Structure 1
Amino acid sequence: MSPGRTDWVEAATRTLRGADPQTLTVRTPDGVRIAPLYTEADFPTDGDPMGFPGLAHFARHSRPQGSTAGWEIRQAHRCDADTSATNRAILDDLAHGVDGLLLYDPPSDPEGLAALLDGVHPEMVGLHLRPGADWEDTVAAARSLWRGRPGVGGTLGIDPLGRLARTGTLRTDPDAALATAAEVAREVQADLPGFRTVTVDSTVFADAGATDALEIALALAGGVAHLRAMVAAGFEVAGAGAQIEFTASVGPDQFAGVAKLRALRRTWGRVMEASGAPDTPMALHAVTSWSMLTRRDPWVNMLRTTLACFSAAGGGAQAVTVTPFDAAVRQPSELGRRIARNTESILALETHLPRVIDPGGGSWYLDDLTEQMSQRAWALFGEIEAAGGLTAALLGSLASTLVSDRRARQSDDYDHRRRLITGVTAFADPSEELLEGPPADPRPGSDPDPDPIVEIDPLLPHRWAQPFEELRDRADALARHGTPPTVDLIDPAGEVASGPSRDAAAEFFAVAGISPGDGESPIVCICPGAGEEPTPATVAELSAAAVVFVAAQPDPGLTAAGAAGFIHPEASLTEVLGRALDIWEARS
């Protein structure tokens, strides 16, 4: 007889020295509960509550063949610079496995668009536009070039509410912009039948700090806003739904990413069911997260984007865009683009991931995660709709408040090391040299509309590593002036410290580029060994000649004796390390 749950609980309790195994339960930033073990009892599968791939509510996939249909390898290009250079990069991508182009800020005239795509066979590649403020001219250029050409398809990328969120500007009233988008969608159906007109890009919210459930909720609200506008323009609901492609962000947590895409499809399926078109599947494009990228130790970004790409493919995205690993450091290099597209090619061709209809099928954990995420997203969607929908949420304070609240909570988790960033807040290398290259541009599509009539505070992109990289930048500036910051790590007797406490303190200070010193630093950190405790007298004596930190839990007695701060597992990185750098900057 095979072991059961009771056997596991008994074994886990012994391993935990009598503690309840449920203490291993954790919660995501959305409050989703993740248990240490899942069985049929956690998510009963009688009746197949998650449904089947290709059938409403489409949680498991939009297509019956699921992941075996593969996905489009969609490479992004910013097109507002040198057209000939961008064209060369596009042709290079197409020659090496890319089958979809994501074109930010493409030319708005037929001649410019044709020059950008010179040498491209449009029938052989998905063409996905993300126009700027002059989107109507860009759509007209696309109609001029591709009208009546069989086999040409993609997306026109009309996304006025996403643009308002990203840039804080619109040249027209948002409701008028939605109505115009709906009219354009109706007009181009005959000319460009292979194109979806509308994009609901929720990555702007994720980039600004939204959690998974909040991003889903805001995406649903954006989709509903377009549905209403298109139905008012004469579309049937199913036809309107078929005109929309959703773009969502995926991060380095592979299980959360799979569940997120499942929950997005599932909740949109509920919207379509309530609207009278339950059999209309979602078109879903996933982009690896901008907020997870780092400037420091950017090579780790390759691992992050690989995990994100895996979760996008495993979660049933029909198209995936991998952000180049060096995008936060510099304008993406040829190496960055090559690694991005090869990440997808290897996952598609060498891992056999597309040989399984639903890679996550049968996982009680994923099903439960999907269910919880769906419930939280649906509740937030209801809150946004009750407040007047996405337009009202953007023009008022609701959207920015929801996003900033979750950004603050997640930032606090990173600052107190409840969540770690490899190469930045864990295993940082103070001697690392930054990559070289042209400085990174602002995020694509962030240029404001000229002469706007609507202006709000934009939702600015934020990388989780940014506050800690700024600490490193301060340390680099000190080093350039000949005073690289150091800290003397000593034991309570004043000797050079050793052991786990010393190593933990060294790693803590390394986050800010502060290296162990040689006894001449204006900063010392007392690192007690096993059974050792620093005394107020020791702290007071050391404080006469240096600023003293202690690698221990906060102690009021040591603070009163002059301790400037404490290094412990939940100490604030920005507070303690910022104070240490202040001391060095004052000294220099």
Structure 2
Amino acid sequence: MSIASHEDAARSAHAAWQKSVAGVLAKSRRVEVADLPADPEHLLDSTTYDAITVSPLYTAFDERPEGPLPGQFPYVRGRDPHRDVNAGWKVCTRHGSTARDAADGDASVLNTQILDSLSNGTSALWLAVGGHGVDPTVLPEALRGVFLELAPLTIDAREDVSAAAASLFSILDSADIDDRAAVDIRLGVSTLTAQLGGTATIEMTEALELVHESIGRAETIRTITVDGTVFHNLGAGDAQELGASIAAGLEYVRSMTNAGVGISDALRQIEFRFAATDDQFQTIAKFRAARTLWARVAQVCGSSEAGDAPQHAVTSEAMMSQRDPWVNMLRTTLASFGAGVGGADSVTVLPFDAALHGGAAGVSKTFAARIARNTQLLLLEEAHLGRVLDPGAGSWYIEDLTAAVAAKAWEFFRTVEASGGFRAAVDDGSLVAAIEKTRAERDSDIAHRLTPLTGVNEFPNLAEAPLTPEQTAQQGSAAVHRYGRAFEALRDRSDAFLAEHDSRPTVLLIPLGSVAEHNVRTTFASNLMASGGIEAVNPGPLTVDGIAAAVDSFQAAVAVVCGTDKRYADEASTAVDAARAAGVSRVLLAGPEKIFAGIEGTSRPDGFLTAKVDAIAVLTELLDTLGAKK
């Protein structure tokens, strides 16, 4: 078959498929096929928070030209063509933070933890040093027995980074190392992004002094970390996180070159840190796109070969939930999968209970750390994800999404540049304002349960043990806007009510008709109530005459009528009257208001519960009514 014939056959098959799609959609939407567009499949498109369109299916018509091999500009397929496929990416573990670390600043205990971690699968270290970690002067003891030429080291020393660097350099100077270039150290200076993250840092002048010192050493040392997780934690979309990070990276390069650093040396002083989420395909595309963006910056700067800055992936803090924290194990598995497949050089999986101050009750730090570490080891050792460089290459969906994320990120980057650069965009508030707009959109989707959070706004476990105020207290930076925080604040109110009254805030369900009739809406109402910490009591099928007894038995102040549309037509009005006559102060109906509009009778519910309601607003009002204190 000729190429032309093959293409004609493909188009014919595609047209036939579109016709079938149109038939299904016309039936489900109760319209005529002729009323649908020529490409009906795009009615199923979805849009990301970066305004990127994601289609339900990709075909050969979406194919893009094959990109360069790994290690070649623009590095979309990875920066290192010689990565050990038996080892894969680096499994990076964080140590030394006093927030939950049993070492609590004790260098010898920390050393034991680090060596144990390295013996059990960790291949890169991330060490908290200074005011929020171990003292810089005890680094020799903390790193005793660690071969820095085998395990890359990143430090987070914030305002104490110069002292930490001096201590590290002293260790290196006295060490017997054959291949000093193999020593890979990141000093973690984040002068430009620290302000947005609410953390302390050093001034650019001091950072530049460290840059000059690092360049003069034989080891591979990168001074600057462009911390994109700061933007993510503020609520940024993926393209916004990348665009802002590239803008910050360019600002660092300008500062370094203005201080006399050569362009290639300046580019090689930078690493990027990005958040990885449980949206695995978005994460894959994000890390691939990030490399192309920075490569383009390096190309424009005249040093394409130095545009392969390493990437450190950290599982998203914002996606982590306090409620049903065990689900976080699944979230971080998907996130590390996406980061690894996307080509991140190192990946840190946060402990599943990281959102809880002090961790989950009864869970040791060593257990949480082991699960986090083993999450990656399973992906590498059992699922063999590291055996292939850029396994997503050639996927029509991934390639298209990578290009779309890169294009949107570059557009955002140019907006930041047009405002005068990164510093100017931060100072005039435009950068944060753009991110806050995205955050508000996401918050609205979560509040309306359009974006599901398992264990939080969907399928909540109301029977789980209450959390203490200490566990739910804000920890670390206040700039981490967790996705589930609004629902979890309602659950906190429920826990406080439980502690005071020995019972949860409760609403009574009024199921009309048989179980088959009311089950869908009683299940919906129970799930909705539980997401706000409210227990929904289901007494079983009720007749209108039995409502008064049920209300009296459960001393209900709020009731939700549940049934079918047909049953509502016959009994909803009288059921509302009966509930009010029995003493219920607020009567709701599970279903849309339009159902009740055609029902005869003057009595109307006080509200209507549907899948489209603002659950946060509804549940807040109910908790107020039920006496749960804020």
TM-score for the superposition, normalised by structure 1: 0.89
Aligned runs of 1:291-302 on 2, under 5 Å? 291-302=318-329
Aligned equivalent of 2:296? 270
Deviation string for 1:386-414 (max 9, x for gaps)? 11222122222112211211111101111
State the 1:529 CA deviation.
1.7
- Contact 2:263–2:301 (CA<8 Å) still a contact in 1? yes
Aligned equivalent of 2:57? 37
- Contact 1:330–1:436 (CA<8 Å) still a contact in 2? no
Structure with greater proportional helix content: 2
SS of 1:420 mapped into structure 2: coil
Aligned equivalent of 2:525? 505
Aligned runs of 1:69-88 on 2, under 5 Å? 70-80=88-98, 81-84=104-107, 85-88=109-112
Runs (4 or more) in structure 1 with deviation over 6 Å come to 435-438, 493-497
Corresponding letter in the other structure for 1:92: D
Corresponding letter in the other structure for 2:190: D
Aligned equivalent of 2:495? 476
Aligned equivalent of 1:226? 252
- Contact 2:73–2:305 (CA<8 Å) still a contact in 1? yes
CA distance in 2, matches of 1:113, 1:587: 48
Structure 1, unmatched stretches of 5+, are 172-176, 447-458
State the 1:191 CA deviation.
3.1
CA distance in 1, matches of 2:456, 2:68: 41
- Contact 1:250–1:286 (CA<8 Å) still a contact in 2? yes
State the 1:426 CA deviation.
1.1
Match of 1:374 among 384, 400, 406: 406
Return closer, same or farther for 1:167/1:330 CA change in 2, 3 Å cut-off.
closer
- Contact 1:489–1:502 (CA<8 Å) still a contact in 2? yes
CA distance in 1, matches of 2:166, 2:518: 69
CA distance in 2, matches of 1:560, 1:460: 50
Aligned equivalent of 2:567? 532
- Contact 1:415–1:574 (CA<8 Å) still a contact in 2? yes
Deviation string for 1:186-245 (max 9, x for gaps)? 122233522211111110110121110100011001100111111122222222111111
- Contact 1:159–1:199 (CA<8 Å) still a contact in 2? yes
Among all aligned residue pairs of Structure 1 and Structure 2, give the percentage whose two residues are the same amino acid.
Answer: 33
Aligned equivalent of 1:465? 484
1:55 and 2:72 matched: yes
CA distance in 1, matches of 2:261, 2:475: 34
CA distance in 1, matches of 2:395, 2:174: 46
Corresponding letter in the other structure for 1:532: R
- Contact 1:165–1:204 (CA<8 Å) still a contact in 2? yes
CA distance in 2, matches of 1:320, 1:434: 32
SS of 1:532 mapped into structure 2: helix
Return closer, same or farther for 1:341/1:254 CA change in 2, 3 Å cut-off.
same
Aligned equivalent of 2:377? 345
1:160 and 2:191 matched: yes
CA distance in 2, matches of 1:97, 1:157: 23
State the 1:437 CA deviation.
12
State the 1:17 CA deviation.
4.6
Return closer, same or farther for 1:587/1:404 CA change in 2, 3 Å cut-off.
closer
- Contact 2:322–2:472 (CA<8 Å) still a contact in 1? no
CA distance in 2, matches of 1:215, 1:560: 53
Aligned equivalent of 2:123? 99
- Contact 2:105–2:134 (CA<8 Å) still a contact in 1? no
CA distance in 1, matches of 2:511, 2:558: 14
- Contact 2:75–2:291 (CA<8 Å) still a contact in 1? yes
After TM superposition, the structure 1 stretch with the greater mean CA deviation from structure 2, 547-556 or 344-353, is 547-556
Return closer, same or farther for 1:551/1:78 CA change in 2, 3 Å cut-off.
farther
- Contact 2:324–2:455 (CA<8 Å) still a contact in 1? yes
Aligned equivalent of 1:450? none
Aligned equivalent of 2:270? 244
Return closer, same or farther for 1:67/1:143 CA change in 2, 3 Å cut-off.
closer
Aligned equivalent of 1:403? 435
Aligned equivalent of 2:6? none
State the 1:367 CA deviation.
1.0
Deviation string for 1:359-407 (max 9, x for gaps)? 1011111111111111111111111111122212222211221121111
CA distance in 2, matches of 1:516, 1:438: 28
Corresponding letter in the other structure for 2:78: H
Corresponding letter in the other structure for 1:27: T
Match of 1:195 among 211, 218, 221: 221
Aligned equivalent of 1:421? 453
Aligned equivalent of 2:545? none
Structure 2, unmatched stretches of 5+, are 1-8, 30-39, 99-103, 360-364, 540-549
Deviation string for 1:521-551 (max 9, x for gaps)? 2110011225232645543553452111111
Aligned equivalent of 1:579? 621
Return closer, same or farther for 1:193/1:477 CA change in 2, 3 Å cut-off.
same
Aligned runs of 1:302-451 on 2, under 5 Å? 302-331=329-358, 333-433=365-465, 439=471, 446=477
- Contact 2:278–2:335 (CA<8 Å) still a contact in 1? yes
State the 1:493 CA deviation.
7.4
1:8 and 2:32 matched: no
Corresponding letter in the other structure for 2:432: S
Return closer, same or farther for 1:279/1:159 CA change in 2, 3 Å cut-off.
same
CA distance in 2, matches of 1:526, 1:104: 54
Return closer, same or farther for 1:495/1:265 CA change in 2, 3 Å cut-off.
closer
Match of 2:558 among 523, 526, 530: 523
State the 1:73 CA deviation.
0.6
SS of 2:568 mapped into structure 1: coil
Identify which of structures 1 and 2 has the higher relative contact order when contacts are C-alpha pairs closer than 8 Å and 6+ apart.
1
SS of 2:162 mapped into structure 1: helix
Corresponding letter in the other structure for 2:72: L
SS of 1:122 mapped into structure 2: coil
CA distance in 2, matches of 1:246, 1:104: 18
Aligned runs of 1:246-261 on 2, under 5 Å? 246-261=272-287
State the 1:282 CA deviation.
2.0
State the 1:436 CA deviation.
8.5
SS of 2:94 mapped into structure 1: strand
State the 1:111 CA deviation.
2.9
After TM superposition, the structure 1 stretch with the greater mean CA deviation from structure 2, 149-158 or 321-330, is 149-158
SS of 2:113 mapped into structure 1: helix
Deviation string for 1:15-53 (max 9, x for gaps)? 4354633221111111110111111212x424x3x4332
Aligned equivalent of 1:550? 589
CA distance in 1, matches of 2:226, 2:123: 21
Corresponding letter in the other structure for 1:98: T
Aligned equivalent of 1:451? none
State the 1:75 CA deviation.
0.5
After TM superposition, the structure 1 stretch with the greater mean CA deviation from structure 2, 107-116 or 89-98, is 107-116
Corresponding letter in the other structure for 1:162: T
- Contact 2:561–2:575 (CA<8 Å) still a contact in 1? no
CA distance in 2, matches of 1:501, 1:108: 55
SS of 2:153 mapped into structure 1: strand
Return closer, same or farther for 1:497/1:133 CA change in 2, 3 Å cut-off.
farther
Return closer, same or farther for 1:75/1:440 CA change in 2, 3 Å cut-off.
farther
